Amino acid sequence: MTEKMKLHLVPELDPAFEPVSLVLRAARTCAKSGRCLHFALERAADSVTSFHLPLPDEGNAAYRLAERTLKTLLWCHGARRVFLAGDTPIATRLASSYAPGADRAFDADMMRKIYEDFAILPCRESDLPPPAESARRLGGHTDGARVGFDLGGSNRKCAAVLDGKVVHSESVKWNPYFERDAQYHKKEILDSIRRAAAHLPRLDAVGGSSAGVFVDNQVRVSSLFRGIAEQDFAATAGKLFLEIAAELNVPFAVLNDGEVAALAGKMSEHCEGGVLGLSLGTSLAGGYVRPDGTLTDHLDELAFVPLDLGKEARADEWSGDFGCAVQYLSQQAVACLAQRAGFSFASDTPAGEVTWEVRDAMERDDPRAKKIYRTLGVYLGHAAAYDANFYDYKTLLLMGGVAAGKGAETMLATGSEVLAAEFPELAIDLRQPGEAFSKLGQSVVAASLPQR
């Protein structure tokens, strides 16, 4: 890191941390040549996100920043086609890096799985498609007789809501992960919906929340269906919610649980401006609600968004990439930092168990645990600042098992100190959801998704 980019707060357990937030800001403020790379990410003909990146003068630094920015845009916003203009050599090199077998083949394959097509197209600036942001008017609908469900890995929750009042809710244990037949999932989900609907005078709409990526109620990626063979996925699990909607014959919507959590925060916390939700658990989940309370059709899968550009950036075992946010804001991050802080665990101890022990140590004011959470707080502050380049938001809601108790308090205080010192112009409010959020519940918010 250069002299100009010294951190105000150096993470105690990761002194080599080099946040991409500062690298991008330096490029924007110090670029002298006027070089700029223009991005247009097309999800559909009426859904295009534009982004403009000033490039530093030095060639390798310019490509590295362009490559990290493209990866960020893909996982924040998603694309079936990416148009690149303004710097032909860099655009051509980026297209090559996303070819089969190349460095970013994982990201390209995931985009192809989600959007059923993917290509990077260098072009002239005049050929860039214009921005066309499509907002979904989902959420906040409390009229009528509604059912909402929330699907987890060990429990599925369901609520019956009549004109905004919860009249029934229940949680049922299930084990969906390794079931090979999607009809099992369909049968169990329909069972919960119908049990809840029995407490209503009629059924007007159904909404759902689940981990995964959903496009127009179609499942593109979801850990809940990991037992289903890949060659059968699109025809079975992929169409499961379309089949359920057709069988119920009412307005229906299912969204990623991160989106629903962010919407719950917007509804319960009465936040000014846009809301970005981050849930720190086994992975890193994200969700975004616009300032006007609408949701977008963007991807918002923030686990793979770059955070660290340092030479010692940690590797992600799934994508094979380095410096991705999931390795810095999740149970995996706690497990890594626990070793550096002096905790002793067997090498095969699950990250979740390490996290719970570190949380307990934090409640006892263990100085080792404090170092871990202060380090996580530095990561959080820089992640919040970097994400602000791609989302219009003023409130970040911190959720998940990693963010609990005294640990969360330390993370929020440290992250806020980073923002105040390094990015005072952003005025981002880092906070945890309050009691109203907990009372609201994911399944109740999910019930409000479809418009009658």
Higher pLDDT, 317 or 161: 161
- Percent pLDDT > 70 in the chain is 97
Q: In the predicted model, what is the mean pLDDT of residues 424-439?
A: 85
Q: What is the pLDDT of residues 261-314, one digit of tens each?
A: 888 888 887 788 999 999 898 889 899 999 988 888 899 999 999 999 999 999
Look at residue 2 and tell me whether its pLDDT is greater than 50: no
Look at residue 4 and tell me whether its pLDDT is greater than 50: no
The pLDDT score that the predictor gives to residue 419 is 98
Identify the band that residue 242 occupies on the pLDDT scale cut at 50, 70 and 90.
very high
Q: In the predicted model, what is the mean pLDDT of residues 2-19?
A: 85
Look at residue 1 and tell me whether its pLDDT is greater than 60: no
Look at residue 134 and tell me whether its pLDDT is greater than 80: no
Look at residue 34 and tell me whether its pLDDT is greater than 80: no
Domains, the chain: 31-127 (no CATH), 136-256 (3.30.420.40), 261-440 (3.30.420.40)
Q: If you compute the radius of gyration of the chain from its CA atoms, what whole number of angstroms results?
A: 22
Q: What is the pLDDT of residues 59-115, one digit of tens each?
A: 788 899 999 999 999 999 999 999 999 999 999 999 999 999 999 999 999 999 999
Can you say how many angstroms the Cα of residue 123 is from the centroid of all Cα atoms in its chain?
Answer: 30
Dist. CA 172–CA 339, nearest whole Å: 37
| 3-state per-residue secondary structure call for the chain | CCHHHCCCCCCCCCCCCCEHHHHHHHHHHHCCCCCEEEEEEEEECCEEEEEEEECCCCHHHHHHHHHHHHHHHHHHHCCCEEEEECCHHHHHHHHHHCCCCCCCHHHHHHHHHHHCCCEEEECCHHHCCCCECCEECCCCCCCCEEEEEEECCCEEEEEEEECCEEEEEEEEECCCCCCCCHHHHHHHHHHHHHHHHCCCCCCCEEEEEECCEEECCEEEECHHHCCCCHHHHCCCHHHHHHHHHHHHCCCEEEEEHHHHHHHHHHHHHCCCCCEEEEEECCCEEEEEECCCCCEECCCCCHHHCECECCCCCCECCCCCCECEHHHCCCHHHHHHHHHHHCCCCCCCCCHHHHHHHHHHHHHCCCHHHHHHHHHHHHHHHHHHHHHCCCCCCCEEEEECCCCCHHHHHHHHHHHHHHHHHHCCCCCCEEECCCHHHHHHCHHHHHHCCCCC
The pLDDT score that the predictor gives to residue 31 is 62
Is the whole model's pTM more than 0.85, yes or no? Answer: yes
The pLDDT score that the predictor gives to residue 237 is 92
